[in-house]
Structure 1
Amino acid sequence: MTSKARIAVDAMGGDGGLAVMLAGVAHARRRAPGLEFVLVGDEAAIRAGLENHPNLTAASQVVHAPEVVASDEKPSQAIRRARTTSMGIAIDQVKQGHAAAAVSAGNTGALMAMAKVALRTMPGIDRPALAALMPSLGETDTVMLDLGANTECDARNLMQFAVMGAAYARTALDLERPRVALLNIGTEDQKGTDIIRDAANQLRSGAHLPLEFAGFIEGDRISRGEVDVVVCDGFTGNIALKTAEGTARFVADLLKRAFRSSIRSKIGFLISRPATELLRDHLDPNNHNGAVFLGLNGLVVKSHGGANEIGFENAIQLAAKMVRDDLGRRIAQDLGNFEARAA
């Protein structure tokens, strides 16, 4: 893949609206001048917004979309309007080969449904998975999947998620041999359901894969940096993700309350401000923004709906990196090698 990655952007998605989307795209363009964009949405509004970002004009194509997917719209309803919505048209740009990846901060369920219908799953992949980077105490972030695309999974699905997650970690985190673990209620071999134990047995037999299977991991160890990829079904993963986000906000709110409780605490805050700023930056979801739908015949990145311009820029940069490193080819190659050895 060349450095001139072309990214289709759903310019109308997200809580911040068009202004935040364009600002994020402009930031990404300044950091990576080789990027080009297809901006999908209300053409008149986009062109008016581009007047504030002259660096984007020559690098962007505007494609009009008369409708927008609502944040609370059911996926089944959104799919029927895919051809007229900014989200659906952005995904179609990838399907038609006009863009190498699509980025949207819109409705997650609708984005997943549209992407799966339009792009279909890769050969050998039964179900796509939603993967994201989680902050950790290790030298790099931790990849976690599935985060909500599949509420129920069998052992084969979990094995495929592990292969896809490892390929993603090799690309996003520049790891040669990522450490992969299955999320479980204990680390002992006999713990967990038959499905999880079966998936573990399959992964133990895949010693030839470019990953290191680290067995089981419990929820309280996800952020310790002990493994690089955590694999689970979408139901469990979504609960774990929301719990982690809620805990981060809870800790931040407790710190604010504690520092405001007395004059001595306020003085202590001023002294410890560099450390608290570092903590805030580490826990800020904008610094880890961008979840990827793995296993599709095309790249689609989901930005957090409440992301600011820096967060949306990070989602775009992630999409561009996946394109440059040809993530789809890596996944297909790893899965093909695994199944060939198994056969």
Structure 2
Amino acid sequence: MASLPVAVDAMGGDDAPQSVLAGARLAAERGIPILLVGQPDQLADARDFEVVPASQVIAMGAEAAASVRKMKDSSVVRAAEAVRDGRASAMVSAGNTGAAMAASLLRMGRIRGVARPAIATPIIVPGRAWPNVMLDSGANTECTAEWLVQFAQMGAVYCRDRWGVQQPRVGLLSNGEEAGKGSPLVKQAFDLLGDGDWQTRTGAVFAGNVEGRDLLEDLVDVIVTDGFTGNVALKTAEGVAKQLIGALMGAFESSEEAREGARLLAPALAPLYDEFSPDSVGGAILLGVNGVSIISHGASSPKALANAVQVAHELAERDTVSSLRRVLRTE
């Protein structure tokens, strides 16, 4: 039986729909069926795809929840409805992050038993075949300790289903590795995460506290935190990486000798650049909703969008949502 297509929000992103359409074509070349959702007049040259018409577009800076409720014919809402109605296996949006979250939650609903969905973001670990997964990366700025335990469960299932890590190591983000470190929330979550029940059901193991310097280290596989802390940590890491790359490129152009050295180093640096490129990540997943919803960066390139579509397709094929239901004891 043919696979259901991935619904792609064609109007979401800084350079939509052109960049999104280019990414959709790259994904289609890999054999992934695509369902574009957007304004038909803007997608006149997308005759090679089935298009679900949507007359409205939620702006990147719009208030998310209110816009989703008012703009029922927006592309991101129609994409979520395509998943809900069984017309698509998953959805991808590079538009307003809050709107993608709200549309996914309001149209797909939550997995029964999930307190709050969380954004799970891959963070590249140099030299390792799979990244660290950090959640929550921005969906919930305030959390309870019980929610953090649930994030640990969902992150462990995601890590196992996507990368085949059979016994994911889960770390709790804190300001020190010692058990007594952290805010009252972190200390309470530490105690709850030490309970063996959730570890038995997920096949995971709680590895204790990790610090901000450990985000790219091979110490754990899943990093759990509240959405405020996670988003700040993620944006800090992105900013440092951007500045380092800029400084390195500037040094390479500082003299003829430096330029010659850069040419000699290029073959060794190119694979490292590809490894750290955000294009290779494929977006973050909103875990806890009753469907596969991938959220990509607004400035995503066609390659990044194609990879996001591939991730969405693979998770739908593996039925990761059912795996989450079983672990959370909802079916």
- Taking structure 1 as the reference length, the TM-score comes to 0.91
Deviations 1:202-225 (A, max 9, x none): 222224131121111001011012
Alpha-carbon distance in structure 1 between the residues aligned to 2:287 and 2:200: 21
Q: Is the 8 A contact 1:19 1:49 kept in 2?
A: no
Q: Quick check: 1:128–1:294 contact (8 Å CA) kept in 2? A: yes
Over the aligned positions, Cα root-mean-square deviation in angstroms equals 1.7
Tell me what 1:78 maps to.
67
Q: Is the contact made by 2:148 and 2:226 (CA closer than 8 Å) also made in structure 1?
A: yes
The answer to whether 1:239 aligns with 2:235 is: no
**2:17 is aligned with 1:21:** no
Find the partner of 1:282 among 270, 275, 300. Answer: 275
CA contact (8 A) 1:22 1:49 kept: no
Cα displacement (A) at 1:336: 1.8
Relative to 1, partners in 2 of residues 1:246 and 1:18: Cα closer, same or farther, differing over 3 Å? same
Q: Is the 8 A contact 1:248 1:283 kept in 2?
A: no
- In structure 1, the partner of 2:297 is 304
CA contact (8 A) 1:79 1:110 kept: yes
Query: Structure 1 runs of 4+ off > 6 angstroms?
Result: none
Deviation track 1:250-273 (CA, whole Å, cap 9, x = no partner) reads: 110110111111222111111111
Q: Secondary structure at the residue paired with 1:319?
A: helix
Deviation at 1:201, TM superposition (A): 2.2
Q: Note if 1:67 corresponds to 2:59.
A: no
Per-residue displacement from partner, 1:290-315 (whole Å, max 9, x unpaired)? 11110011111111110111000010
Q: Secondary structure at the match of 1:292?
A: strand
Cα deviations by residue, 1:11-57 (Å, 9 ceiling, x for unpaired): 111112112111111111211x2x322211111332x2225xxxxx3
Gaps of 5+ in 1: 52-56
Q: Distance in 2 between matches of 1:36 and 1:81?
A: 30
Residue in 2 that maps onto 1:255: 248
> Percent of aligned positions with the same letter in both sequences?
38
2:232 counterpart SS class: helix
Match of 1:318 in 2: 311
Alpha-carbon shift at residue 3 of structure 1 (Å):
6.5
Number of the residue aligned with 1:54: none
1:323-338 aligned at under 5 Å gives the runs 323-336=316-329
Equivalent in the alignment of 2:210: 217
Q: Bigger shift: 257-266 or 301-310?
A: 257-266
Show the counterpart of 1:177.
Answer: 167
2:144 corresponds to = 154
Amino acid at match of 2:21: L
Task: Find the aligned partners of 2:150 and 2:2 in 1 and give their Cα distance.
Answer: 29
Contact 1:82 1:114 in 2 (8 A): no
- The equivalent residue for 1:101 is 90
Structure 1: how far apart are the matches of 2:114 and 2:315? Answer: 18
Confirm whether residue 37 of structure 1 aligns to residue 34 of structure 2.
yes
Letter in 1 for 2:310: Q
Q: For 1:134 and 1:318, how far apart are their aligned partners in 2?
A: 15
Give 1:152 shift: 0.6
- Structure 2 residue identity aligned to 1:110: A
* Residue in 2 that maps onto 1:168: 158
> Following the alignment from structure 1 to structure 2, what is the Cα–Cα distance between the partners of residues 122 and 221?
31
2:200 maps to a residue whose letter is: H
- Equivalent residue for 1:208? 200
Counterpart of 1:335, as a letter, is: L
Question: 1:167 Cα shift?
Answer: 0.7
Letter in 2 for 1:38: L
Match of 2:101 among 99, 105, 112: 112
The residue that corresponds to 2:288 in the other structure is 295
| TM-score when normalising by structure 2 | 0.94
Q: How many residues are matched?
A: 327
